[in-house]
Structure 1
Amino acid sequence: MQIFFHPEMYSADFSTPLPELIDSCVQSAPIDTRRALYKNIVLSGGTTMFKDFHKRLQNNIKKIVDERVAETNAHHHVEVKPVEVNVVTHPIQSYAVWFGGSVAASSHEFFECCHTKEDYEEHGASICRTSTVFKGMY
């Protein structure tokens, strides 16, 4: 699993529209993975539960991607195949974040990645800025 959202890369006030943010994240991925990422945008929890949110998001991302493909075709005189965009919804969408945390916490490796209360008391709050999962500061 790869995490693409890095808030420090974007405006501090989070004013970037979501379709542009998702497109930017996908475009920052290796080129050979982009088509697969566009086909598997998975929603979970919160405001993603609004009626037809997934359809609107998919249409907006598709518009951005189609414009890029048309521009590439026009400027480079090549025929780039259309990119499929698919925003995935699922029955446990409203609980997906909790469910993912539950699955992670139930694995036996989970406690190797956690900080204990004793560690916290010894090192203070700064220990929360390190993670064995991400190998250092984040």
Structure 2
Amino acid sequence: MSYIGEVRRSAFESFGTAVTHVAVSVAVRGMRIVKAIARRRVIAHLGEFDDRMLRDIGLNRSDLRDAASGPIWRDPTSVLVVRAVEKRAARRPVRARVEAPVPASGALATLGAEEQAAVTLAPCAEGQGSAQACG
């Protein structure tokens, strides 16, 4: 048998691989902790903003407190991002209802079937339609 092209593993090679994996995971976790501490400094800086400035970016003081209350190794910015997105999403349906124009009765022909049903059933939902029309 020929040994050309055959790779032999020594007993220490797997140990070296294990040590490398441990060192890399320790380094990655250390970097996460360093980043989390740096981001906590940013949260402290956000705490110096007034309420109007925080509201402009979609946050309030309780969001900052909640983000900073987690463990030191957890990134606090994920809490802030989730809170800002939730608040933005909660405002969207209200805007859509307020800004949506109600078409005139002659304009129903230009709407799709679902939109026509929504427009014709709107008085029933508000309690303003007749008993025959609302079925």
Q: TM-score range by the shorter chain?
A: under 0.3
Structure richer in helix, relative to its length: 2
| Structure of greater relative contact order (alpha carbons < 8 Å, 6+ residues apart) | 1
Which has more radius of gyration?
2
TM-score, normalised with respect to structure 2 = 0.27
Structure richer in strand, relative to its length: 1
